[in-house]
């Protein structure tokens, strides 16, 4: 199936029935994460078709080839925008939250200084490059 075209002003979960959702192989993203962020069915019960990509660039290539859509963070658009893809907000799904993680044995003064810097830094607004 192809991506939604033209894109509605605001997508809903029901719109997902008209496309294929591209997810990732288990080593890339754990299944519990995908279950939370990539629904298997729309609210009315219809199953959403899925394809599996091995990594992010493969998923974007699949999108640009019209094979489906992929969910990612809005921030990712700044780094991976392509002229053959459209990035749309989808507020009906849970937001991606980012947190720092580290091995428990690495709780050093340098790490604590980094965490203070991260938590005290002002948030930058998202700059969309969508067409």
Q: What is the pLDDT of residues 52-62, one digit of tens each?
A: 998 889 999 99
Lowest mean pLDDT among 2-6, 85-89, 124-128: 2-6
Six-digit token string for 43? 């609210």
Burial of 32 (0-12, 13-18, 19+ CB in 10 A): exposed
Distance CA 80, CA 117 (A): 26
Using 50, 70 and 90 to split pLDDT, how confident is the model at 3? very low
Six-digit token string for 41? 């069915």
Q: What is the dihedral of CA 124, 24, 28, 58, to 10 degrees?
A: -80
Residue 77: pLDDT above 60?
Answer: yes
Q: What is the pLDDT of residues 12-27, one digit of tens each?
A: 888 888 889 998 887 7
Six-digit token string for 128? 């969309």
Q: What is the dihedral of CA 4, 78, 98, 126, to 10 degrees?
A: -90
Q: Which residue has the tokens 């496309």?
A: 19
What b/e sequence results for 97-124 when a residue is b if at least 16 CB atoms lie within 10 Å of its CB, and e otherwise? eeeeeeeeeeeeeeeeeeeeeeeeeeee
């Amino acid at each position: 199936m192809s991506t939604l075209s033209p894109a509605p002003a605001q997508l809903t979960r029901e719109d997902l029935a008209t496309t294929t959702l591209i997810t990732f192989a288990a080593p890339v993203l754990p299944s519990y994460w995908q279950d939370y962020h990539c629904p298997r069915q729309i609210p009315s019960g219809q199953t959403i078709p899925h394809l599996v990509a091995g990594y992010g660039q493969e998923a974007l290539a699949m999108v640009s080839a019209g094979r489906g859509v992929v969910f990612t963070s809005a921030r990712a658009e700044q780094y991976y925008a392509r002229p053959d893809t459209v990035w749309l907000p989808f507020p009906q799904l849970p937001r991606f939250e980012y947190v720092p993680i580290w091995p428990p044995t690495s709780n050093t003064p340098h790490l604590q200084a980094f965490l203070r810097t991260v938590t005290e830094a002002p948030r930058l607004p998202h700059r969309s490059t969508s067409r």
